[in-house]
């Protein structure tokens, strides 16, 4: 039992060290890229967290390490976000780095993510997936959902579809003046932030979000 306690204590100390180091590394990244830095992410807008599906799943929802840049009516936010699903032994923590853009366009509510086998099975039971018969490659690669199907189809024009076919692993969610893009599988490394933000920016521009700070 003493050995277990030592191992557990070491694990806690390691987690604290890595947590602190990420704060420090991202503070340097924010400075180098011209962002403000808020380690507690208290400035993540409540309206953003109330609008997009990624913020509605699970429990213990925690944003952190916010990098932000703003103009008069535009916002660019980059932050870690974690949440928990399941209970007891089946509990799973999910974490990712989200890039969110506010202003510059008004978008219909939609959710786009890589389509997998589970989605295909769920579709047999009525799970929504907006497909484009004229572009089977796009429909096979992406799961696309949204309450106003006509508006979603309108914004997913041929140019946007071709752009999205060149992407891999991204999740995109939008509603009103907000669009968020992220990859699952854990937070991004600080040294990858420039490329990650640049890719997310190109996604936002494809959907007409202009003047991003």
Report the alpha-carbon distance of residue 48 to residue 177 in Å, rounded. 9
Rounded Cα distance, 10 and 27, in Å: 26
Per-residue confidence (pLDDT) for residue 213, from 0 to 100: 87
pTM of the model: 0.89
**Cα distance between residue 158 and residue 49, in whole Å:** 30
Q: pLDDT tens digits for 50-107?
A: 999 999 999 999 999 999 999 888 999 999 999 999 888 888 999 999 999 999 889 9
pLDDT at 6: 55
Work out the percent of the chain whose per-residue pLDDT is above 90: 77
> Mapping DSSP to helix (H, G, I), strand (E, B) and coil, where does residue 13 land?
helix
DSSP state of 56: T
Location of structure tokens 């799970």: 127
SS (H, E, C) 71-128: CCCCEEEEEEEEEEECCHHHCEEEEEEEEEEEEEEEEEEEEEEECCHHHHHHHCCCCC
Q: Which residues of 153-182 are buried (b: 16+ CB within 10 A; e: fewer)?
A: bebbeeeebeebeebeebbbbbbebbbbbb
Report the C-alpha gap between 100 and 201 in whole angstroms. 9
pLDDT in tens, 185-206: 999 999 999 999 999 999 999 9
């Amino acid at each position: 039992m003493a050995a277990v306690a030592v191992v557990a204590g070491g694990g806690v100390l390691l987690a604290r060290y890595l947590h602190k180091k990420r704060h420090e590394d991202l503070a340097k990244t924010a400075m180098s890229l011209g962002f403000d830095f808020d380690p507690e992410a208290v400035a993540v807008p409540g309206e953003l967290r109330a609008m997009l599906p990624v913020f509605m799943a699970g429990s213990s929802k925690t944003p952190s390490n916010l990098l932000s840049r703003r103009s008069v009516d535009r916002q660019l936010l980059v932050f870690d976000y974690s949440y928990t699903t399941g209970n007891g032994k089946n509990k799973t923590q999910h974490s990712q780095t989200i890039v969110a853009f506010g202003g510059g366009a008004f978008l219909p509510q939609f959710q786009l993510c890589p389509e997998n086998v589970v989605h295909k099975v769920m579709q047999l039971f009525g799970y929504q997936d907006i497909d484009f018969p004229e572009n089977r490659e796009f429909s096979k690669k992406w799961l696309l959902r949204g309450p106003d199907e006509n508006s979603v189809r309108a914004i997913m024009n041929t140019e946007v579809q071709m752009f999205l076919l060149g992407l891999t692993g991204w999740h995109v969610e939008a509603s009103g003046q907000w669009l968020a893009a992220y990859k699952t599988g854990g937070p991004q490394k600080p040294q990858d932030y420039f490329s990650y933000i640049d890719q997310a920016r190109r996604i936002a521009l494809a959907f007409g979000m202009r003047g991003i700070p």
